[in-house]
Amino acid sequence: MREPVFTGACSAIITPFDHSGAINYDQFGKLIDEQIERGLDAICVCGTTGECSTLTIREHIAAVEYCVKRVNGRVKVIAGAGSNDTSAAVYLSQHAQDSGADALLHVTPYYNKASQTGLIKHYEYIADRVQLPIILYNVPSRTGVSFTAETYKVLSQHPNINGVKEASGNFSLLAHTLAICGDDFYVWSGNDDQVVPMMSLGAKGVISVVANIAPEIIIQMTHLCLEGNFSKAAAIQLGYMDFIDALFLEVNPIPIKAAMNLAGYDIGSLRLPLCDMSDGPLEVLRQSMMKAGLLKA
């Protein structure tokens, strides 16, 4: 039986920019060190929250290399390597592997709206060309396509496909997937507001946006679930729902970057077409952070 890439809490780490718009590696290193020191089980670099869609190929490769070197084996590093171009996804995957990453995160090919057969061919083609474990990423609200449980079953047979980051919000899909795939395929939550119910069905943890600014919340919640203490984990989940909801008032990663800047992190702005948070939602976010004890009045 294969082992999951990680269990517990993984941060979908942001990519900080300096005032010229370039990657701020000094701040990036500080964020990586802080995340590890605060107890996270893994770091996912160059995912959605890391603004992979606005990084050049060279920046993407450099950011993964930097993260792997900075982490230096202290926790697992999962490198975002997805693309709507299969050959580009292979290129990013092979570079991440050469950099020393521990695993790969591969979003479904966006815009193309591939068929289930196309998804199988895409992922098998990539998995045949790397040795690292692959975590699929199902987020149909962004990509326009979702896996079926039957497709997960087919892909679970490939030795390099470890599981999926599930952000569809579809609990029927989750239940059917776990029922037919068993221990051949692992699931992680891709939604911070659904961690406990997903783990109660068998998910192994979360790749989290919230963990960028409040890792202890996510660590405690996931580890309680792993221990089988779902009632205490649920109390944490429900207690922070206002803050979690506020982090998705506008498209990720706009609110998490705003939250971190409010909390005193110098992580810069966003790259177009992403832009700064509008005033009304920003005030709701500010109030939710104060309520959660993450910001002083």
Q: Is 165 a catalytic residue?
A: yes
pLDDT tens digits for range 56-106: 999 999 999 999 999 999 999 999 999 999 999 999 999 999 999 999 999
Report the share of the chain in percent with pLDDT over 90.
96
Catalytic residue among 137, 152, 186, 240: 137
pLDDT tier at 295 (50, 70, 90 boundaries)?
A: confident
pLDDT tier at 2 (50, 70, 90 boundaries)?
A: confident
Phi-psi region of 177 (alpha: psi -120 to 50; beta: other; left: phi over 0): alpha
**269 pLDDT above the threshold of 80:** yes
Q: Is 76 a catalytic residue?
A: no
pLDDT tens digits for range 94-127: 999 999 999 999 999 999 999 999 999 999 999 9
Residue whose pair of structure tokens reads 């506020």 in the numeric block: 246
* Top-level class of domain 8-227: alpha beta
pLDDT tens digits for range 250-265: 999 999 999 999 999 9
pLDDT tens digits for range 224-242: 999 999 999 999 999 999 9
**297 pLDDT above the threshold of 70:** no
How far is it, in rounded angstroms, from Cα 104 to Cα 56?
18
Contact 293, 263 (CB under 8 A): no
Identity at 34, one-letter amino acid code: E
Catalytic residue among 76, 165, 204, 257: 165
Contact 143, 108 (CB under 8 A): yes
Q: Could you give the maximum distance between any two Cα atoms of the chain, in Å?
A: 53
pLDDT tens digits for range 192-213: 999 999 999 999 999 999 999 9
How far is it, in rounded angstroms, from Cα 70 to Cα 100?
11
Contact 176, 148 (CB under 8 A): no
Task: Provide the residue ranges of all domains of the chain, joining segments of one domain with +.
Answer: 8-227
**182 pLDDT above the threshold of 90:** no
pLDDT tier at 183 (50, 70, 90 boundaries)?
A: confident
Average pLDDT, the chain: 96
Contact 114, 41 (CB under 8 A): no
CA–CA–CA angle 210, 214, 217 (5° rounding): 90
